[in-house]
Amino acid sequence: MIRFVRGDLAATGADGVVVAMGGMGFAVRVSDTTRAALPPVGSEVALRTHLVVREDALDLYGFADDAERGLFEALIGVNGVGPRMALAICGLGTPPALAAAIGGGDTAYLAKAAGVGRKTADRVVLELRDAVGAVGAGPDPAGGTRGGAREGLVALGFAPDDVDAVLATAADDMDEEALIRHGLAALAR
């Protein structure tokens, strides 16, 4: 299996990038999140990769870091989620933000990805909620006091990314009620 590629970024396009190395150009499909982290064309780039072998094609998917690749690999393990759909989900945000959305059951956020409907988003949450900690979710991804506070703040209409950013600034010893008060104070500004 090809686990990474390192070379010059030869081209970028809607379908991915081309990494030149050893006299060859490797087409690598990337998420919008990884695309945003890429250096300018002509610069050296290193991508973690996952090779998908199909009967009619070999597709190489590339990621800025191991956390995004791990999330992608977890997503393609969900029934009904193929590599392109998993890549679209990875493009919604950073791995910690996506893991928090999955852990918090935020299916509306996941359904923003191209090709992902409400039922697929529900399935992703159901199958991965307990596993998101293994893909680099950060503190308390699967629930607990932070997960409960996050769900409460998102239910009040605050954007999941804003809630995650505010909760990341909270003290570790806060209970759920204190976390919600902290979140409300910061998000109401």
Q: What is the per-residue pLDDT for 165?
A: 84
- pLDDT tens by residue, the chain, 189 residues: 788 999 999 999 988 999 999 999 999 999 999 999 999 999 999 999 999 999 999 999 999 998 899 899 999 999 999 999 999 999 999 888 898 899 889 999 999 999 999 999 999 999 998 777 544 434 443 345 677 777 777 767 778 888 888 888 888 788 877 888 888 888 876
Q: What is the pLDDT of residue 138?
A: 41
Helix, strand, or coil (residue 58): strand
- Quick check: pTM over 0.75? no
In sequence order, what DSSP letters do the residues of 127-173 get, joined into one string?
HHTTTGGGGT--SSTTSHHHHHHHHHHHHTT--HHHHHHHHHTS-TT
Q: What's the CATH fold of domain 143-189?
A: Helicase, Ruva Protein; domain 3 (1.10.8)
CATH class of the domain whose range is 4-66: mainly beta
Question: Which two tokens mark 148?
Answer: 């409960």
Residue 21 has phi, psi (to 5 degrees) of -160, 140
- Indicate where the chain has its CATH 2.40.50.140 domain(s): 4-66
How far apart are the C-alpha atoms of 6 and 45, rounded to whole Å?
6
Q: Angle at the Cα of 81 (from 17 to 165), degrees rounded to 5? A: 75
Residue range(s) in the chain whose domain bears CATH number 1.10.8:
143-189
